[in-house]
Amino acid sequence: MDHALDTIATAAPFDTAKLDRLMDEAGLDILIVTSRHNVQYLLGGYRFFFFDVMEAIGTSRYLPVFVYQKGHPENSAYIGNRMEKFEQQLGRIWTPIVKAEVWGTIDAIGLAIDHVRKLAGSARRIGIEAGFLPAAARDHLHAGLGDVEFREAHFTLERLRAVKSPAELDLIREASERVVDAMMATFKGCAPGMTKNDVVARLRREEHERDLVFEYCLIAAGKSHNRAPSNQLLAERDVISIDSGGNYRGYIGDLSRMGILGEPDSELSELLQEIEDIQQVARRAIRPGVMGGDIIAAGEAVVGSSPHRAVLDFTAHGIGLVSHEAPRLTATGPVPYSPYDADRPLERGMVISIETALLHPVRGYIKLEDTLIVTESGWEAPGDHGRGWNSSTLMA
């Protein structure tokens, strides 16, 4: 091994004082981080290209590991695949200790165990991400460090990421703008006789052309509320709901827009306007210092007074590296978690997704989803175009 490449001494790309405080609150001495999104965050955006899509290799899987000791960022270590020596040579990994030597989960967690044993001080409580730690690695970790207490660190790491940096916000802006641009181009190419699979395939191409990693597309068409891609045929005057996540350098652009094969009639215009009104009322609740739950309360109040309240679905959630993350605004959203931020103030730099859907029994599935950045005086909405009915230009 080339020991000249063993270390790269530079400053941590995250707020170490904040992380130390969060670890104190959780009673943690050391973090062993194994989720790709949190490893990416702690490495300042670095993500190994070879395993960007697929994790399986040989008889095991790729498991990046970041080890952090509270109060000692100089002891931070990154454990990665052997091919990551190429990235190390380019100076893309900041940690003072880099071990690009592993292929699977057992050897990766084994090097983490070795590193923890060498750290000074009493490491009695170690934070892990149980949901992102394979069983084989977990068993090996417990056997190798059986004299310590393991605690869940998911919440600690999520709170570290809750307020986005200016660089992160730039990536979220780009992701949001590009996803909506891809949707607009896709709607223009829709025509009767195409299938929902055809539409999704076109959206995938449009997102790829905009340097996005296509993650998913929930698509409904016609009167159906089914949002899975399928061979359902599009017909003249069908409405089309596209809700897609496009990933730009690790950050999610997750928005929803409406299209139609033809022109909307007055009822469709009124239905989409009702959704727009709910979205705008919820936006007005967003600014620093406002309780996170006020966003939910504002939207739900409008929904409760609507004649369509039985078929309206409103929610809001945090978004960033993960499609549902801090701030946690409600316990009744589609992803279950406690509403930690409902009675805590919003902070500048938080990012929130607001979404309203109307499941009309005759006119179909109608939805808008927007991304809002909390600013000093209110909010900013990247990707805020295409909010009306987007008509196909290839109508027969």
Radius of gyration of the CA atoms of the chain, in A: 23
d(CA 391, CA 396): 12
Whose CA is closest to 347, among 169, 178, 156? Answer: 169
pLDDT at 295 over 80: yes
Q: Are strands 125-128 and 30-33 parallel, antiparallel or unpaired?
A: parallel
Average confidence (pLDDT) over 334-354: 97
pLDDT the model gives residue 146: 82
The answer to whether 350 and 261 have CB atoms below 8 angstroms apart is: no
d(CA 98, CA 85): 9
pLDDT the model gives residue 2: 37
The answer, as to whether pTM is greater than 0.85, is yes
pLDDT the model gives residue 289: 98
Query: Predicted confidence band at 10 (pLDDT cuts at 50, 70, 90)?
Result: low
Average pLDDT, the chain: 95
d(CA 76, CA 118): 12
Two tokens, residue 339: 């509403």
pLDDT at 365 over 80: yes
- Phi, psi for 91 (deg, rounded to 5): 75, 30
Percent of the chain predicted with pLDDT > 90? 93
Two tokens, residue 90: 């380019």
Query: Predicted confidence band at 394 (pLDDT cuts at 50, 70, 90)?
Result: low
pLDDT at 6 over 70: no
Length of the chain: 396
Query: Predicted confidence band at 53 (pLDDT cuts at 50, 70, 90)?
Result: confident
Number of Cα atoms under 13 Å in the Cβ half of residue 290: 23
Whose CA is closest to 321, among 129, 96, 16, 46? Answer: 46
The neighbour count for residue 97, using CB atoms within 10 Å, is 19
pLDDT at 292 over 70: yes
Residue with tokens 């409902």: 342
361: part of which helix (H) or strand (E)? none
Residue with tokens 């670095």: 46
Lowest mean pLDDT among 269-278, 288-297, 330-339, 358-367: 330-339
Burial tier of 135 (Cβ tally within 10 Å: 0-12, 13-18, 19+): exposed
pLDDT in tens, 213-223: 999 999 999 99
